[in-house]
């Protein structure tokens, strides 16, 4: 075993070489079927969801006005900085697990466990929350003919959310390549819907609606108590809508529309040529989704004045309804249905691959790392499917969805810092892609994540801390002694 792996204590590291050797174990070997095109499909599939149909309108109406298009550009730049760091790690350590695996090679086992436990929270909640959103759009498509939510006494049972998770689970257990093909079809549908929206929306476009591009700043209602952001709590300041501060706040919200691109890195071990294809997959998908978000936001704010979108429930359909094009509601619902189905699939994939990597390292029961005849972790897929389906079918998440954001940002920040550590500790490693302008870009990436983190609510942080304390107990009671490095 390598010197790094022999280190004792909580910060023992697992060498990159050992991580790569583990991928060849017959009983836990994933099938390498994916290409750069497949990874781009996965990236577009997970990032373009309901956000493009709802977030653009709400952010324009309440925070940024016409400058929402610039907010998406700023968010994309922030996301791109992190993407550079993910691309270097994925090309250097082409192993399942994404940020968890990278942390194991740089920060050591304790931090790796924290990141893995963090990602479990992120993906499990994302799958369940998005599945419930899919069920809501299913209700719109069905037109009230039958409701995807039924009441069992005092309990609400969301059978629509359960159905989509079950379908996705079967596809992922059957094979990652098949999942990619299904995602490609769904991506084509939602991109077709977006193209239709852009073409039809352009016919209602009035340049005067884009003036003023950056509306004057206005004070916004200040959240009280635990609902306010950490920054507001620390400074005692109120929030601001529109103006430059409104634009920056909108960029923070818009950043969350890009969450999920990092899932591409979790599929590195299933990629035929990860050193070349994973960076292409990350950047290809990021470019496509940025163009889509910016184009839709420009057309939206050109169709109607931003002052007509100040209802917190405003969507793209709202803009079309103001022009009498109520038919667009059904088209948008179909696009959202296709979009959310792929988000559920790729988040589900990310959850199973992180757990797979942790099981292979012994931090959770190693028997879960067994792969079936299709080269997929069937046991983990079934367990994740059952847990997420139960959560989506019976739990009303509400503000718990904010935990998805905090989990993602913590992982992003540590990956950025990890690039600097691995550059210093293992400069000899072959890197298929290298972050330029080191250390400037990784530092900027980490700082941008920290800035977004302090704009999350106090209650979100408290829930995150509680989740981490539970994880620490499991690590001390099981993971620390069962680790393969122990």
User: Tell me: the pLDDT tens digits for 16-58?
Assistant: 788 878 766 766 667 777 888 888 887 888 788 767 877 788 8
What pLDDT sits at residue 239? 58
What pLDDT sits at residue 277? 84
Q: Please say if the pLDDT value at position 117 is more than 70.
A: yes
* 3 state SS of 150: strand
CA distance 94 to 273: 9
* Domain spans, the chain: 34-482
Which range, of 20-29, 72-81, 195-204, 345-354, averages the lowest pLDDT? 20-29
CA distance 227 to 223: 6
CA distance 91 to 319: 43
Q: Which two tokens stand for residue 162?
A: 């359960």
Per-residue model confidence as pLDDT tens digits over 318-333: 888 888 887 887 888 8
DSSP-derived letter for residue 63 is I
Q: Please say if the pLDDT value at position 226 is more than 80.
A: no
Per-residue model confidence as pLDDT tens digits over 377-436: 889 999 999 999 999 998 876 656 667 778 888 888 988 999 999 899 888 888 888 899
Ordered alpha helix ranges (H), 208-312: 230-235, 243-255, 263-266, 274-303
What are the φ and ψ backbone dihedral angles of 219, each rounded to 5 degrees?
Answer: -70, 140
Mean pLDDT, residues 332-351 taken together: 85
Alpha carbon 37 to chain centroid distance?
19
Mean pLDDT, residues 228-248 taken together: 72
For residue 430, the number of C-alpha atoms closer than 13 Å in the C-beta half-sphere is 7
Q: How confident is the model at residue 220 (pLDDT cuts 50, 70, 90)?
A: low
What pLDDT sits at residue 50? 63
Mean pLDDT, residues 304-328 taken together: 84
Q: Please say if the pLDDT value at position 2 is more than 50.
A: no
What pLDDT sits at residue 221? 58
What are the φ and ψ backbone dihedral angles of 150, each rounded to 5 degrees?
Answer: -120, 155
Per the CB < 8 A criterion, the answer to whether 94 and 242 are in contact is no
Which range, of 270-279, 351-360, 411-420, averages the lowest pLDDT? 270-279
Q: Which two tokens stand for residue 268?
A: 């590195």
Q: Please say if the pLDDT value at position 167 is more than 90.
A: yes
Could you give the angle at the alpha carbon of 406 between the alpha carbons of 400 and 410, nearest 5°?
Answer: 155
Tell me the chain's radius of gyration from C-alpha atoms. Answer: 22
Q: Please say if the pLDDT value at position 5 is more than 50.
A: no
Per the CB < 8 A criterion, the answer to whether 186 and 171 are in contact is no
Cα Dmax for the chain: 69
Q: How confident is the model at residue 79 (pLDDT cuts 50, 70, 90)?
A: confident
Per the CB < 8 A criterion, the answer to whether 330 and 141 are in contact is yes
Contact residues for 139 (Cβ-Cβ < 8 A; gap 6+) = 147, 148, 149, 160
DSSP-derived letter for residue 158 is E
What are the φ and ψ backbone dihedral angles of 409, each rounded to 5 degrees?
Answer: -65, -40
Per the CB < 8 A criterion, the answer to whether 29 and 371 are in contact is yes
Per the CB < 8 A criterion, the answer to whether 155 and 354 are in contact is no
What pLDDT sits at residue 1? 44
CA distance 406 to 453: 7
Per the CB < 8 A criterion, the answer to whether 263 and 281 are in contact is no
Q: Please say if the pLDDT value at position 3 is more than 50.
A: no
Alpha carbon 97 to chain centroid distance?
14
Burial class (CB in 10 A: 0-12, 13-18, 19+), 472: middle
What pLDDT sits at residue 8? 54
Q: Which long-range contacts (CB under 8 A, 24 or more apart) does 439-445 make?
A: 441/81, 441/84, 441/85, 442/85, 442/416, 442/417, 443/416, 444/81, 445/78, 445/81, 445/82, 445/84, 445/85, 445/412, 445/413, 445/416
Helix H or strand E encompassing 151: strand 149-152
What pLDDT sits at residue 470? 95
Q: Please say if the pLDDT value at position 64 is more than 60.
A: yes
Q: Please say if the pLDDT value at position 240 is more than 70.
A: no
Could you give the angle at the alpha carbon of 348 between the alpha carbons of 396 and 126, nearest 5°?
Answer: 35
- pTM here is 0.80
Q: Please say if the pLDDT value at position 475 is more than 80.
A: yes
Could you confirm whether domain 34-482 is CATH 1.20.1740.10?
A: yes
CA distance 257 to 97: 22
CA distance 262 to 369: 22
């Amino acid at each position: 075993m390598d010197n790094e792996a022999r280190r004792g204590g909580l910060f023992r590291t697992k060498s990159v070489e050992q991580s790569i050797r583990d991928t060849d174990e017959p009983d836990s070997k994933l099938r390498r079927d994916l290409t750069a095109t497949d990874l781009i499909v996965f990236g577009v599939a997970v990032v373009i969801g309901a956000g493009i149909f709802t977030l653009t309108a709400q952010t324009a109406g309440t925070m940024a006005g016409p400058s929402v298009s610039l907010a998406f550009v700023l968010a994309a730049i922030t996301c791109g900085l992190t993407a550079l760091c993910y691309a270097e790690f994925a090309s250097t350590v082409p192993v399942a697990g994404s940020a968890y695996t990278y942390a194991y090679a740089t920060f050591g086992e304790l931090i790796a466990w924290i990141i893995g436990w963090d990602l479990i929270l992120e993906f499990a909640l994302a799958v369940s929350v998005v599945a419930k959103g899919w069920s809501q759009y299913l209700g719109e498509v069905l037109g009230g003919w039958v409701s995807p939510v039924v009441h069992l006494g005092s309990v609400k049972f969301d059978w629509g959310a359960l159905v989509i998770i079950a379908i996705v689970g079967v596809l992922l257990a059957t094979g990652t390549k098949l999942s990619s093909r299904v995602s490609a079809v769904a991506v084509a549908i939602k991109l077709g819907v977006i193209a239709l929206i852009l073409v039809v929306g352009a016919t209602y476009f009035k340049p005067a609606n884009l003036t003023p591009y950056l509306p004057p700043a206005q004070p916004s209602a200040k959240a009280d108590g635990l609902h306010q952001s950490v920054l507001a709590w620390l400074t005692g300041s109120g929030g601001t809508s529109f103006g430059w501060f409104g634009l920056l706040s909108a960029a923070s919200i818009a950043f969350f529309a890009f969450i999920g691109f990092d899932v591409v890195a979790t599929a590195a071990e299933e990629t035929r040529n990860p050193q070349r294809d994973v960076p292409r997959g990350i950047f290809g998908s990021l470019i496509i989704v940025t163009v889509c978000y910016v184009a839709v936001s420009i057309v939206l704010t050109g169709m109607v004045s931003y002052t007509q979108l100040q209802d917190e429930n405003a969507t793209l359909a709202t803009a079309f309804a103001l022009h009498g094009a109520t038919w667009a509601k059904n088209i948008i619902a179909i696009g959202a249905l296709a979009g959310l189905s792929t988000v559920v699939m790729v988040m589900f994939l990310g959850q199973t691959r992180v757990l797979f990597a942790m099981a292979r390292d012994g931090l959770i029961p190693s028997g879960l790392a067994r792969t079936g005849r299709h080269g997929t972790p069937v046991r983990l897929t079934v367990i994740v499917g059952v847990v997420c389906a139960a959560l989506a079918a019976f739990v009303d998440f509400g503000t718990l969805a904010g935990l998805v954001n905090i989990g993602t940002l913590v992982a992003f920040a540590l990956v950025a810092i990890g690039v600097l550590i691995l550059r210093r500790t293992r400069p000899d490693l072959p890197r298929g892609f290298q972050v330029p302008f080191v250390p400037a870009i990784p530092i900027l990436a980490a700082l941008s994540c920290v800035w977004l983190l302090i704009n999350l609510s106090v209650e979100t942080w408290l829930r995150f801390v509680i989740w981490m304390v539970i994880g620490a107990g499991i690590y001390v009671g099981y993971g620390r002694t069962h680790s393969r490095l122990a």
